[in-house]
Structure 1
Amino acid sequence: MKILPKILFAAALTTAASSCDDFLDINENPNSFTQESVAPDIILAQALTNTAAIYTGNNPSYNSYASWAAGYWSKTNTVSGYGEEQTYNYSSSYYAGLFDNTYDNLNDYNIIQTRGATTGFPNHAAIARIMKAYGFLLLVDQYGNIPYSEALKGAGNVTPKYDKAEDIYADLLVQLKGAIADIDAAHDDATARLVSREDVVFGGNMDKWKQFANSLQLRILLRESQTASEAINNEVKTQLAALQTAKDGFITSDVVVQPNYAINAGQQNPLYNRYAYTAAGTGATERNYQVPTQYVIDQYVNNSDPRVSQLYTRGARVIDGVNTPGYVGAVLGESTPPTTGTASASTRQASRFLGANSLTASGGIIKGATAPTPLMLLAEQKFNEAEADTRGLFTGGEEEAKKDYLDGIKASFIYFYRPASTSLGAINLSTLGGATTETPGITQYNTYIATTAAGGVNEKNALVNFDEAKTNGALGKQEIIIYQKYLALNSIASVEAWDDIRRTGFPKIPVPISAAEGKLPARLLYPLSEVSTNSANVPAGVTQYSKIFWDVVD
């Protein structure tokens, strides 16, 4: 495991500078600074920017890994490879970089927290404490037991022990609550350094950081709310009851990283840079390798969901000699679109992610070279609240659950229809409550929701119409909420959808015939680098079907 500090920022970086080069012109030089000399405000922007890249657009990223696993992506027939993505037969080298890169990033936050607490930067330390919880949560949810209590100690411990996943979960909640308390204490400290432009998420607004910490707690508590442990389930209920009334509330906008991405080499939005175009305007290497699955396309088309036109370009099939345009995906686990009529494989043209093949496209999945990178979508937050409401974990009941459910869909429409040139931070609760037809996506949202009215195509559709969703004991309308959340997270925050699939069994994505053992995996394997350097502590007997403690659905 990469446990030695690896500080990824330019040696010339100073907080007084003003150009976008500050946070994006990255030169890896671990020897330029030491933990004892670097100021927390120097590292923060780069650490946040790296988190965004690891989460969404890096090679590898959590988003790309989960987009395959969760049934959003398949491959084109113009490229070979992608064997593990297609067969779900993972090895210890598959996406191994996620483990190492996340720990490298956590080292940066650890330096910020450690130095900030002793050098007059308590707000910076609190932000780092929150982001450490964010990063460790990503690791636990894909690997289960990991180094935690003895991790990030540098040369002091190069073979850290592995802590139990459920114990780490419990401490992540402690850390998030502690970070909120740290921010409150710093507010009354006249000597505390304020956070400024180095905060490329909230611009130094510490109230928003507290809201983000609460939203992360909700994500954590829902994830472990249906375990096989009665003690954990009861503790989750107690903590959720307290969290619902937290004075700082939850996020009210998409949480995004914006370090002033620019159309320069190494400075573009990472998702765009990997799957759309380079700064020179040439197609990115992977631009033509991934296409949507027919499964995910059908979820929009079959429910008359207009978002499909914003997410994908139209493809075409020649059916019985007639060129028939439409949204054409690939079969999950295979590389060619499904046959319709007498169409042959050579006459199928698959759909593409909107933005990947068109510089003029607005909105969609791949928004643009200078668009911010999400860390958490407001849509996820509203669906999380809806689930807590309908399952009785919050006290809002069915009426509040339906409102949160509709707000989740509305936030998704606004996100996917909003042009890249528009600040994503503008998607907030006031926008949801007072949106007009001039707000991007609202006209389409109104059309979609109208289809659930009497005589509408979705009037009796329990995957769209909240009132039609079947009650399933204590779970209530959980399935419809998770289903619509799946559509909202598509290829943007796919790892959250993948975690939901393992946690709840929803949606029931088809298992491709190519899948190893005919079933979906439950986790990633520990990377070979960790097995070879920390073998005495790496858990034995782990396979890709070894479940994380919160995964109790077969």
Structure 2
Amino acid sequence: MHIKRLTAGMLAVLLAVVAGCKSDYLDVNNNPNQVTAASPQLVLPDALATTGWYLTGNAPSGATGSFYFLNLWMGYWNWSGNYSIATSDKNYQFTQGFNNSVWTSAYLNLKNYNYVDTQAAVLGQPLLQGMAKIMKALHFHILVDTYGNVPYTTALQGTANILPKYDNAQDIYDDLFKQIDAGIALLNKGDGTLNPGPNDIMFQGDISQWLKFANTLKLRMLLRQSEKTDRASFIQTQLATIKASGYGFLGAGENASVSPGYTNSQNMQNPLYGAFYAINGNPTTLNNQYKGNLYGITFYKNTNDPRLGAYYRPVAGTTNTFNGTLFGTIDVVVNSLVSDVGPGVLKSVDQRSPIIQSHESLFMQAEAAQRGWIAGDPKTLYQSAITESFINAGRTEAEATAYYSQAGINDVNWDASTNKIEAIITQKWASENGTAPFEAWSDYRRLGIPATIPISQDPSTTVKQIPVRLLYPTSEYSNNAFNVGAQGTINQFTSKIFWEK
């Protein structure tokens, strides 16, 4: 079966399901996208493509994509002055209906991975089962990072349990490490069994890359807990397991990214690119809604960063003039005077959708090495991470070397930086513009870096703080009221995730 046609078609069905889903998001037996007779190796590419859409794509019916709003909060983008934007989208005072697709889409796709996991076990396909377990861990970790306590142990049981209880966030995290280890064990025992090959649209069946990806995901989850002293023993135990595995982490040129075969056809474009450009090449409404943020633009200008022209486009009619506005500003600036999202983010109709990019992995390794968690020279890892971020944004290695070699610039030049962790996280933030705002938000919640990210400029912003979480969706209060009610009163400014400071 043709992979491009299969994945694009199934993805279109999934988007329709996401738009209208209610309590069925936990019912594994009621998913039009998941035929019970389907081979796990044919469900896997759809699930992987959906993960790519989930992290960077556009939600159905023209709504904002799952994590687009974080580009606003984290100083990368701002709303256009040409649109009337709801006040709640500018002052953080959102309600339970805000971005419900983050929740519903995750659980829908978890059903796909759960199907691959269970059916591959029945069919004796350990490679597919291991991949599914690792991807389930990825999605549950993102759910925990977004909401805290979520349905876990009794979720995905279909009609056997339509009212799943909420599990403690830290307990879920602890179990996710076990699930990743189980996935690794399955990958190791799968030699000589069915390899999905091209149906694995992330690594094309390269098991060594999957093993590195699993360790990199573990490292990300451990770093989330870096500020919790009571987690030190757990962290060291997990680091020892990672070291003993010998698999290492994703390195230079090793991007965990997916492509089902994106083409310039309806519903078959890269989901991020396709949200901004129609198949005829014309800008979409979303292209006109999101513009450059003055904070980000000023940062790249002040540090002589060539990525400025990758993350933003010059103002119309100019070749090197970049301009933006701050999130929530009431000063209307016409679109022709503000920079658009740049070619380093919107590369092409067939660009791959990132899951964990090589530069993110290297920045995490640099931080872990600086903390003494892993072996390696933090300076070398830091500079390699910057180089990878330049390459991934369409710039050159020579430009990266010139950039981080600038004398005396704090948070750019390693030797000049007075706080090495701050330098690492600042440069990590600088590399995630448009493609990984969730990671930037997570580091900000964990460490408060970059400390200078401005809060919304809207006059109605009464709480001068970037939210620390999202609220549980309306559907939970309608369909699983007792269990979500047991979580107490949730506030986006004070109800912290367990690993937050």
TM over 0.5: yes
3-state DSSP of counterpart to 2:43: helix
Q: 1:382 to 1:335 in 2, by over 3 A?
A: farther
Instruction: Say yes or no: does 1:512 pair with 2:459.
Output: no
Partner residue, 2:472: 526
Give runs of aligned pairs for residues 77-226 of structure 1, distance below 5 A.
77-187=81-191, 190=192, 192-226=193-227
Counterpart residue type for residue 328 of structure 2: G
* Deviation digits for residues 318-368 of structure 1 (CA, Å, limit 9, x no counterpart): xxxxx996210111222547xxxxxxx56970011124xxxxxxxx11111
Counterpart residue type for residue 544 of structure 1: Q
Separation in 2 of the partners of 1:280 and 1:62? 25
Q: 1:516 to 1:131 in 2, by over 3 A?
A: farther
Unpaired segments ≥5 residues, structure 1: 1-16, 318-322, 338-344, 356-363, 418-439, 452-458, 472-476
Give runs of aligned pairs for residues 16-415 of structure 1, distance below 5 A.
17-18=1-2, 20-26=4-10, 28=13, 36-59=36-59, 60-187=64-191, 190=192, 192-227=193-228, 230-252=229-251, 253-275=254-276, 277-315=277-315, 326-334=321-329, 336=331, 345=333, 349-355=337-343, 364-396=344-376, 400-415=377-392
Cα pair 2:404 2:414 within 8 Å, conserved: no
Counterpart residue type for residue 4 of structure 2: C
Partner residue, 2:483: 537
Cα displacement (A) at 1:282: 3.0
Counterpart residue type for residue 354 of structure 1: G
Cα displacement (A) at 1:199: 0.6
3-state DSSP of counterpart to 2:208: helix
Partner residue, 1:360: none
**Richer in helix (by share):** 2
Separation in 1 of the partners of 2:357 and 2:123? 33
Counterpart residue type for residue 456 of structure 2: P
Cα displacement (A) at 1:120: 2.2
Separation in 2 of the partners of 1:256 and 1:348? 33
Unpaired segments ≥5 residues, structure 2: 15-29
Structure showing greater Rg? 1
3-state DSSP of counterpart to 2:291: strand
Q: Which moved more, 1:385-394 or 1:210-219?
A: 385-394
Separation in 2 of the partners of 1:367 and 1:183? 33
Instruction: Say yes or no: does 1:464 pair with 2:412.
Output: yes
Counterpart residue type for residue 366 of structure 2: A
Partner residue, 2:398: 443
3-state DSSP of counterpart to 2:261: coil
Counterpart residue type for residue 416 of structure 2: E
Percent identity over the alignment is 33
Runs of 4+ in 1 over 4 A off after TM superposition: 29-36, 345-348
TM-score of the superposed pair, with normalisation by structure 1: 0.82
Separation in 1 of the partners of 2:147 and 2:176? 16
Separation in 2 of the partners of 1:129 and 1:106? 10
Separation in 1 of the partners of 2:258 and 2:324? 31
Cα displacement (A) at 1:66: 1.7
Cα displacement (A) at 1:244: 3.6
Separation in 2 of the partners of 1:169 and 1:369? 36
Counterpart residue type for residue 524 of structure 1: L
3-state DSSP of counterpart to 1:291: strand
Cα displacement (A) at 1:266: 0.2
Separation in 2 of the partners of 1:484 and 1:238? 28
Q: How well do the aligned residues superpose, as a CA RMSD in angstroms?
A: 2.1
Q: Which moved more, 1:541-550 or 1:512-521?
A: 512-521
Instruction: Say yes or no: does 1:478 pair with 2:421.
Output: yes
Counterpart residue type for residue 530 of structure 1: E
Separation in 2 of the partners of 1:325 and 1:207? 43
Separation in 1 of the partners of 2:442 and 2:38? 36
Separation in 2 of the partners of 1:99 and 1:346? 35
Partner residue, 2:496: 547
